[in-house]
Amino acid sequence: MFVQKVFEKASQSELWSFVSLSLVIFVMYTLRDYMKTVLLSLKLSGPTAIPIMGNCMLIKEKNLLRFHAAKAFSLYGSLVRIWVLLFPFFVVLQPDDLQLILSSKKHTNKVFFYRFMHNFLGNGLITNSGDKWHSHRRLIQPTFHLNILERFIGTFADASQALYEMLDPLADQDINITHYVNNCIIDILNEAVLGVPVKKTDVQMEPSPFRKGQLVIPHRFLKPWLLFDSIYQMTQLASDELQQKRRLNEFTRKMIKVRREMREKNEIQNKCLLDYMIEISDSNPGEFTEDDIVDEACTFMLAGQDSVGAAVAFTIFLLAQNPECQSKCEEEIERIFGDDNRAPSMQDLREMRYLEMCIKESLRLYPSVPLIARKLGEEVRLSKYTLPAGSNVFICPYATHRLPDIYPEPEKFIPERFSAENSEKRNSYAFLAFSAGPRYCIGNRFAIMEIKTVISRLLRSYHILPVAGKTAFLPVYRITLRASGGLWVHFKSREHKLTDLSC
């Protein structure tokens, strides 16, 4: 009996040892990629992390850009370690390394926190990954061909004329340009994406709710416990966000219904992006449903507001601070239009080469989206280190755009950096204002045309002057880049200013 009990205890002990060992092996196998990234992170340098929270406080308005401005490359090298809670992220700075990641279709998946945008943006091109993203990108891409984008120039011109009419009573005063520019961009998006006209019409239409969007991701990072959906869903913040999303979705569905009815009655004169997406859905009902139309329309509306609005405002501000560059833009515009009061054509916009250089230099200094993230689909070998498959990678245009070996005197506004000759000499992944590779911003040409139209319209009526005491600002990060306290300029009427566009 005694011997039997000993053998039973030994058998139980072996069984538990086997179970424990199997569990350890299973956990190690499941977390093997995570453990590899942790081991690599321990070899790298980066900003000091707080226990558990890691470097989440970098997301606080000023901290992230202070980190960038502190010359991350000179402090930590070309590969920097950052912790988001218990997850290591790798900040990749050098264009050659970025090209390996961004150019590959194997690394198009977004990291986990992009799903926090779903409540706000839905499942559109920005938040989607995998097969759905590939399918939607393939279907929507032809809509952004130049032949179609040319049809939206009239919308850009109408909105820029409305902006002029709003600003003209304020000429010869100091104004914060950001509010007025943002209204102009929302007008453009309402008409170009949803078909809500810029100009007043006899048709009674519900006001667009897209002027009230607010992204809450920064708030969730500052209170990391809100990163857990089970906790976040119990907050008023989550309730407010979902109510806003519901309002946006309901309005978009109403506009889909309106555009379908107009299409049936053959009443559509100027097609908007919603019309093109309805056609895509009708031709590909299994791949592109009405829910997909709503998600993508909301994505274009919400993503295009702050990003393009910031680009226009920063460019206007920098032209005020650099009068010699503004003079070159004015000479270019006078050469194109002379005394003609016509709205710009596609050819006119193409000829605004120096203005485009100024826009790109503004986007170099102040990229609308200063931080991008990817999840590696396979391991990537950089110069000294191998990033394991599954690694979370941060790409920081704000920092890469300031590498002094690529952009000498990086804090200076020098539009000539983007001349055709200088651009050819530079790695194309050194300029990431619209990202790069397969996930390059689908609306980049739309945005450049939009920005050119708005700024050229103002330059045909005003000299833009700096405001004493407000020639500098503090950039802050809230998913998109903003200027703390706004961007102040002074519009001085030109001797023969343009008062009305002939469309």
Please give the annotated binding residues for heme, written as ranges. 441
Cα-based torsion angle of the residue sequence 359, 124, 92, 33 in order, rounded to the nearest 10 degrees: 180
Q: Which segments are annotated as binding site?
A: 441
CB 363 within 8 A of CB 496: no
For residue 79, the cross-strand partners are: 92
CB 480 within 8 A of CB 307: yes
Report residue 233 CA to chain centroid gap: 26
Amino acid at the residue 446: F
CA-closest candidate to residue 80, choices 91, 64, 66, 89:
91
Structure tokens, 77: 């090298």
Structure tokens, 208: 């667009």
Q: How far apart are CA 487 and CA 363, in angstroms?
A: 15
Q: How many C-beta atoms surround the C-beta of residue 15 within 10 A?
A: 10
CA-closest candidate to residue 392, choices 155, 178, 109, 164:
109
**Cα dihedral sign, 273-278-281-283:** negative
Buried/exposed code over 450-479 (b: 16+ C-beta within 10 A; e: otherwise): bbbbbbbbbbbbbbbbbbeebeebebbbeb
Structure tokens, 357: 């250089």
CA-closest candidate to residue 237, choices 250, 249, 222, 251:
222
Amino acid at the residue 224: P
Q: How far apart are CA 400 and CA 437, in angstroms?
A: 16
Burial class of residue 133 (count of CB atoms within 10 Å of its CB; 0-12, 13-18, 19+): buried
**Cα dihedral sign, 337-493-188-190:** negative
State how beta strands 474-478 and 87-92 pair. unpaired
Q: How far apart are CA 37 and CA 431, in angstroms?
A: 27
CA-closest candidate to residue 270, choices 340, 342, 188, 211:
188
